[in-house]
Amino acid sequence: MNRGDELLQSFAKVAAIAGAEDEHGALRPLLDACGWGTRDVGEPLLPSGVRHGVPFGVSFVIGEGAPEIRVFVEPQDDPPSLASYMNASRRVARLIALAPGADVSRLEPLFARGFARAWFAVAFRPGGPPQYRVYLCLAGERAERLRIVDDSLAELGVARRVHVGPTDQPTMLSIDLHADPRVKVYVLMPNHVLDDPFGRAMSAEPIGWLACHFLERVNAPRVAWHYGAARHSPDDDDLARRLVRFCRDVGSDTAIYERARAELRFRHHFVTWQRQDGRPRVTVYLVPEVRRP
């Protein structure tokens, strides 16, 4: 078995419950283009930009926008280096460019801006084509990160900027890879207390919230709040109970989530919350389960 097969098995299990399939066969070519899709599961994982060290992940939606499943992938190459990983990202972009409706023309100028690495995502919803996104990851000193974000937003023609507090740290910039894309900036806020029902359900302490700022609507800005479940909730079952109570309180159907918990026994990586067009939307990111040599 190779790593691509491993991810496809995980995806199939979630898809069977969440109700969104890879109807166009987009995943296998994407995984192969990432450089690790054909690597045997007995081989060591290549160095990754995420804490758990796995170059892929899966999420699904509760509430507004469901059913939707997303697969996240980190392009890699062997031997590993920042330069070889960025070249692998260009290889993935060339593949995505072949998909109907995809537009990667904005990517090459952004690749040259100084981002440390890139992740890609593909979202699946019933009856629609795969929707691709890119997440450009920042590294280094705060001032340099702010400069890269500012230059990139100017490159994209986005006039609006995100307020960043004195201890806040930009972590990523993301765009949709199709015409008229959404543009998002992710900011880690280490001293922030999220004083709303979701924040109180997850943690009343300043734990380091990750805020995703959507910049495409000047007059209707919104933020998706990311709770780092793997880091801040050692009792995963207790987190699940709190999340179900919260979702029910805001009127979201938890049947898919509860079935997934019962059948897959996954661990939470992140849980995110936002209001999309005024309606509640929660996204659950799973900690990937992989074989390790």
Any idea where the domains of the chain sit in the sequence?
A: 3-286
**Residue 270 confidence (pLDDT) above 70:** yes
If one counts every other C-beta atom within 10 angstroms of the C-beta of residue 79, the result is 6
pLDDT of residue 253 exceeding 90: yes
Please indicate whether residue 204 or residue 251 has the higher confidence score (pLDDT): 251
CA angle, 120 as apex, 269 and 89 as ends, to 5°? 130
- Using one digit for the tens of pLDDT, what is the confidence trace for 5-56? 999 999 999 999 999 999 999 999 999 999 999 999 999 999 998 988 999 9
Helix ranges restricted to H, 129-207 = 142-156, 197-202
Q: Please compute the mean of the pLDDT values over residues 81-89 and round it to a whole number.
A: 96
Is residue 174 within 8 A of residue 184, CB to CB? The reply is yes
- Give the Cα separation of 188 and 213 in Å (integer): 11
What's the CA angle centered on 104, arms 103 and 107, to 5 degrees? 145
**pTM, to two decimals:** 0.95
Strand-strand pairing, 117-124 and 131-137: antiparallel
237 by DSSP, 3-state: which? helix
